[in-house]
Amino acid sequence: MSNLHQLIYALSDALDLVGVDDVNHGKRVAYMALECAKVLRMEPKRRVDLFHASLLHDCGVSSTRIHDKLVFTFDWEGAEDHCIRGYQMLNRSHKLRHLSNIILYHHTHYEMLEALGVDAETALLANLIFMVDRVDALNAQFRKAEPDISPLSIGEKVREEVSSCAGTFFDPRLVEVYLEASSKEGFWFTLDQEPLHRYLIAYLEGLVAENVDMSELHEVAEMFALFVDAKSPYTADHSYDVAKLSRFIAKRMELSPDICSKIEVAGLLHDLGKLRIPDELLDKEAALTPGEFDTIKVHAYETNQILSQIKGLEDIALWASQHHEQLNGKGYPYHAVGVEMPLPSRIIAVADIFQALAQHRPYRKGMKPMDIYQILAGKVDQGSLDAEVVEVVKENLQECWELAVANSFNTTMMR
């Protein structure tokens, strides 16, 4: 069991990584929304929904290019595209789908909400998130234009811009609420990383825990796998296929149903840290330079940083973050050796390589089953992969290959 509030907060770190150099956007939006909720005297349950929706509001954005546009452009045609994608993703989770309409309308102008027939509660929460989301964007824009300007001077500029949008972009009532909340110096000082973290942790600790069972966890993990895999067209469905292949191998090795389910979740979440990698590196068709490869290496570390925050997911965090480790200690990011890699980690490491080799990439075509096995066998000889896991792959080679490419292209192509 894990706590839903803690799960969403930790996974929001993954969403924030998309900014690469401008992180914590979702957390700043959540903080400002909660401060406005205080002025509104919003009842606790709606405040929790606002908190969750604020943290997840950009779950339709996995591209650093789109993220930069969100931050440095106040409004543009097509802004609703990521809202629609976020809506579709949240609807995949029974635990989170009640937030989907808030996400769908969080870039809709106030003057359009009534015309679209959006119910009053959804309209209020969506427009509030839209408003403080644009506050954070304006804040970034003014800081970029005037690096030496003080937070309070920026605050005054932002307040003027928001006031000018009352009745068009934003509900006039919400603008008044925001102006009251942001009139205090502390409002702007808390946007810095450390006070922001303390504020949100204190809020989290005050919430009554809401447990998430394994089936609900799987739905949330699948949602985030789609988010990660959408970052590059060349790795579409990678996490999903690695998860299915990992579970298949685990079942063939007669691991318990509970362990098999946890391995599948770890497979779904193993590449969370890739969200911090700039799009141009993941999409690069030429070989990576040593420096670029060092940048890629950070993703497994980031996966561990995100998942290790969630109580109850300690095993999943370890297994997911070890998918580039090798038994001989030559992997990364921790150079785990032998027994430091439990069997689930070894399974995911094999499944990750198998799926990557089977999938088309910008620099090569997907490989045939026997060719993949030969590479895996070579890595066993080098002491990097587990011999028993690779033997199970060999015994079920065609089934493994079909699982690895199930969502990539027609499996009859390479039989």
pLDDT of res. 406:
81
* pLDDT < 70 positions in the chain: 19-22, 64, 67, 69, 233-234, 362-363, 408-415
Domains 2-211 and 213-414 share a fold: yes
Token look-up 């439990």 returns: 342
CB 36 within 8 Å of CB 128? yes
pLDDT of res. 216:
95
Q: Which fold has domain 2-211?
A: Hypothetical protein af1432 (1.10.3210)
**Domain segments of the chain: what residues?**
2-211, 213-414
Q: What's the number of CA atoms in the CB half-sphere (13 Å) around residue 359?
A: 26
Cα–Cα distance, 118 to 130 (Å, whole number) = 15
pLDDT of res. 410:
36
CB 328 within 8 Å of CB 383? yes
**Neighbouring C-beta atoms of residue 407, cutoff 10 Å:** 14
For domain 213-414, the CATH architecture is: Orthogonal Bundle (1.10)
CB 323 within 8 Å of CB 352? yes
Per-residue pLDDT tens for 169-208? Answer: 999 999 999 999 999 999 999 999 999 999 999 999 999 9
Q: Report helix, strand and coil shares of the chain as percent, to nearest 5.
A: 65, 0, 30
Per-residue pLDDT tens for 69-86? Answer: 677 778 877 888 999 999
Q: What's the number of CA atoms in the CB half-sphere (13 Å) around residue 16?
A: 22
Per-residue pLDDT tens for 235-287? Answer: 778 999 999 999 999 999 999 999 999 999 999 999 999 888 888 888 887 88
Cα–Cα distance, 23 to 17 (Å, whole number) = 6
Cα–Cα distance, 370 to 223 (Å, whole number) = 32
3-state secondary structure 253-274: CCCCHHHHHHHHHHHHHCCHHH
Contacts of 392 (CB under 8 A, 6+ apart): 249, 252, 253
